[in-house]
Amino acid sequence: MGLFPVRLHSEYSVRGAARRVTDLPDRLRSVATAATNDARIVAVLLLLAAIALAWEMAASFHVI
């Protein structure tokens, strides 16, 4: 097993979530996939907004 046989809770939760998604009917699986894709899109948009804000702040402090 290794020096520390304890596994992280997140590892089990990710495996369990993947197992539960494969057990769902097709319609619910597509809804879960769409929700995941929407979350990824929102995360990318938030990251771009943070970069734009940092750029504006750097410009206002005459760093760039």
SS3 for 52?
A: helix
Number of domains in the chain: 1
Q: Per-residue confidence of the chain (64 residues) as pLDDT tens digits? A: 455 555 555 555 666 666 666 666 877 778 878 888 888 999 999 999 999 999 999 999 887 6
Q: What is the DSSP string of 24-61?
A: S-HHHHHHHHHHHHHHHHHHHHHHHHHHHHHHHHHHHT
Residue 2 within a domain: no
Residue 63 confidence (pLDDT): 74
Q: Is residue 48 part of a domain?
A: yes
User: What local confidence, expressed as pLDDT, does residue 9 receive?
Assistant: 54
Residue 4, domain member (yes or no): no
CB 21 within 8 Å of CB 32: yes
Q: Which domain holds residue 29?
A: 9-60
End-to-end CA distance of the chain: give it in Å, rounded.
52
Q: How far apart are CA 37 and CA 31, in angstroms?
A: 10
31-43 pLDDT tens trace: 878 888 888 999 9
pLDDT for residue 53: 96
